[in-house]
Homo-oligomer: A and B are copies of this chain.
Amino acid sequence: MKSFRKELYFNISTRRGFINITPQVEQALAESGITEGLVLVNAMNITASVFINDDESGLHVDMEKWLEKLAPEKPYSQYAHNGYEDNADAHLKRSVMGREAVVAITEGKLDFGTWEQIFYGEFDGKRKKYVLVKIIGE
């Protein structure tokens, strides 16, 4: 069994945003030399997500609006977590969208459906954060 590990860094200038990180994960896979196995892609910060969905800008607008409805950022005082911090909503939004994606590797490629793309979801940005790519296989 072979294993490979890589960190991907992000520093988004807004509080929230979605970035398609499929090219970076494909690059890590190429570097690993692994052709059959699994890749785990997970946020290393607990106010961010890794998820798989569509790379369509209208959908990202809908997701932002929907997550704000499910777990509003403001008023900050509605959350017990917010005292020294103001990011309780980011922890909740990340709970909806998930921490990680596990993707099959087949014949050296991400074994994806037609429209699947991997996203980094930032819910408390304006600072350096990161994602782990861990690949195991042969």
- Which A residues contact B (CB, under 8 angstroms)? 1, 3, 5, 36-38, 40, 42-46, 51-54, 56-59, 61-63, 66, 70-71, 79-83, 88, 91-92, 94-104, 106, 111-116, 130, 132, 134, 136-138
Contacts and interface: CB of A to CB of B under 8 A. Distances in A.
A92 B106 contact: no
B40 A104 contact: yes
A46 B113 contact: yes
25 contacts: A1-B37, A1-B138, A3-B37, A3-B137, A5-B106, A40-B104, A42-B102, A42-B103, A44-B112, A45-B113, A46-B113, A51-B95, A53-B94, A54-B81, A58-B80, A58-B81, A58-B88, A59-B81, A62-B79, A62-B88, A63-B95, A95-B98, A98-B98, A113-B132, A136-B136
A-B pairs with lowest CB-CB distance, top 8: A44-B113, A104-B134, A58-B80, A58-B81, A59-B81, A61-B80, A3-B36, A62-B79
A44 B116 contact: yes
A80 B54 CA distance: 13
Given A80-B59, A111-B5, A134-B106, A38 B36 contact: no
B136 A38 contact: yes
Contacts of A58: 79-83, 88
A53 B91 contact: yes
